Amino acid sequence: MEILKRPMGDYQTNCYIVKIDGKDLIIDPGMGATEWVMANVKNPVAILNTHG
């Protein structure tokens, strides 16, 4: 398992990419996360949002 983390948006909320067995989970992508996520994700299976 590999975990990548980067603060995103005006509020600098952490966006995580969790890589497990060739599958990528994207957790809390904030404003401006698209480019970073696209560069680091090969096989997205879910996007989880914990901030409402």
pLDDT in tens, 10-37: 989 999 999 999 999 999 998 999 999 9
- For residues 34 and 41, the answer to whether their CB atoms sit within 8 Å is no
* 14 DSSP 8-state letter: E
Question: Considering the entire predicted model, what is its pTM?
Answer: 0.90
Residue 7: Cβ within 10 Å count: 11
Count Cα neighbours of 11 within 13 Å in the Cβ-side half-sphere: 8
Residue 51: pLDDT over 90: no
Residue 36: Cβ within 10 Å count: 15
